Amino acid sequence: MKINKLDIDHFLRDAWQKKPLLIRNPWADWANPLEPEELAGLACEEGVESRLIERTRDDWTLAHGPLPEDRFGKLGKNPWTLLVQAVDHHVPAVAALIEPFRFVPNWRIDDVMVSYAADGGGVGPHFDQYDVFLVQGLGRRRWRVGPLCDESTPLLPHQDLRLLAGFEATEEWVLEPGDILYVPPGFAHDGIAVGDDCMTYSIGFRAPSRSELITDWCDHLVADMPDDDRYADPDLTTQDNPGEISATALARLHAMIMEKVADRDGFARWFGSHSSTRKYPDMDWQPEEPVSAGDLAEVLADAIPLCRNPASRFSFIRQGDDALLLFVDGECFECAGEAMEIAEQICAQDSIAVAPALAGSAAVLDLIAALMNQGSLAFEEED
């Protein structure tokens, strides 16, 4: 699918992380990529994160999946919504929805959540801490958008849901199939299905918090620190008051910390691995039989395309002009020369055909074999 009516430069300048924006059906050929029955089937599977939210007269209820197959037949007249996370991991046609939004860097992409709602269904007024494009797939949904919220914004007392205690809309639209609503972080919003068979695709983007970055980076550093790396003061002299923590001691203690924390190269390598870790790292996508570099040469020579696992995360950091660090699913690969060229191609495209000039490179074959053996790449299956 392609977006023909979105000026990306204009959008990034005027709307991105600044204000909500309605984009009326900008697709060249919008077609809903998933049937409601398929979504319900995913919600019944082990290993798929799903939620069923019902609105009663005076409360909201939440049930986590996997859901029993007969659960949907037992739903009453109360408005309800089914939400399934990371549907792009399981349905290639849904994963294709991410492609038009690749003007946002790969490392920011989270997943595509899909919701199905009966008439009047929704999840209540709330706000998120990430950017999201809400693409209407089937049916109609009324979206109301309100002001910016933060941690001081009052919430309703609820064990499972973070719902706003008060919500006053400043803008309101009804979205038809193919319409897109962009909502930046922190803006209050509420979507309610208008009629049955309402499906919405939420393309979400991650934004690490400062506290998460500091905690995870420091945890990584501490794991590799020897216990005997301790404070030392061989130049100690007497001081007037033994109760004083001297400026010299403080400077030395602070330097012990900053020397490690401020290691920019170390941080870059760590962040590349950290940010490329899969959303569900326990899922095993490895092939049944390992692939060797020798096995690949003949297949690549036939120009059979390689495709990325939709669940995998690919990004890279340049190391000067002639090398880069490739990060895939939490693993780091040092690439130079021909391997660097293929690494950039893999990060830029969901599917690539390796050029004959590269198919004979030992470095390229080793890299592709490693990525295939960890389940991040595979040969494209014939239709």
pLDDT in the model for residue 181: 98
Fold of 293-379: Malonyl-Coenzyme A Acyl Carrier Protein; domain 2 (3.40.366)
Sign of CA dihedral 70, 71, 72, 75: positive
Q: Find the radius of gyration of the CA atoms of the chain.
A: 25
- Which pLDDT tens digits describe the chain residue by residue (383 residues)? 667 778 999 999 999 999 999 999 999 889 999 999 999 999 999 999 999 999 987 789 999 999 998 888 888 888 999 999 999 999 999 999 999 999 999 999 999 999 999 999 999 999 999 999 999 999 999 999 999 999 999 999 988 899 999 999 999 999 999 999 999 999 999 999 999 999 999 999 999 999 999 999 999 999 989 999 999 999 999 999 999 999 999 999 999 999 999 999 999 999 999 999 999 998 889 998 998 888 888 788 777 899 999 999 999 999 999 999 999 999 999 999 999 999 999 999 999 998 888 888 999 999 999 999 999 999 987 65
From-to residues of CATH 2.60.120.650 in the chain: 8-205
Q: Is residue 54 classed exposed, middle or buried when 0-12, 13-18 and 19+ CB atoms within 10 A define those classes?
A: middle
Measured distance CA(341)–CA(364) in Å, rounded: 9
Spatial distance between the Cα atoms of 165 and 169, rounded to a whole number of angstroms: 13
> In this predicted structure, what is the pLDDT of residue 261?
95
Q: Which pLDDT does position 383 carry in this prediction?
A: 53
Say what the pTM is.
Answer: 0.91
Structure-token pair, residue 108: 């920011």
Question: Which residues does 129 contact at the CB level (< 8 Å), separation at least 6?
Answer: 185, 186, 207, 209
Phi, psi of 180 (to 5 degrees): -130, 135
Q: State the DSSP string of 70-114.
A: TTGGG--SS-EEEEES-GGGT-HHHHGGGGGGTTS-GGGEEEEEE
- Written as one string, the DSSP assignment of 139-189 is S-EEEEEEEE--TTS-B---SS---BS----SEEEEEPTT-EEEE-TTEEE
Lookup: tokens for 6: 């979105």
Q: CATH 3.40.366.30 occupies which residues in the chain?
A: 293-379
Tokens encoding 343: 């690494």
Where does 8-205 sit in CATH, by number? 2.60.120.650
What pLDDT does residue 382 have?
60
pLDDT at residue number 274:
97
Give CA separation, 1 vs 98, 101, 110, in Å: 10, 11, 19
Which pLDDT value is given to residue 249? 96
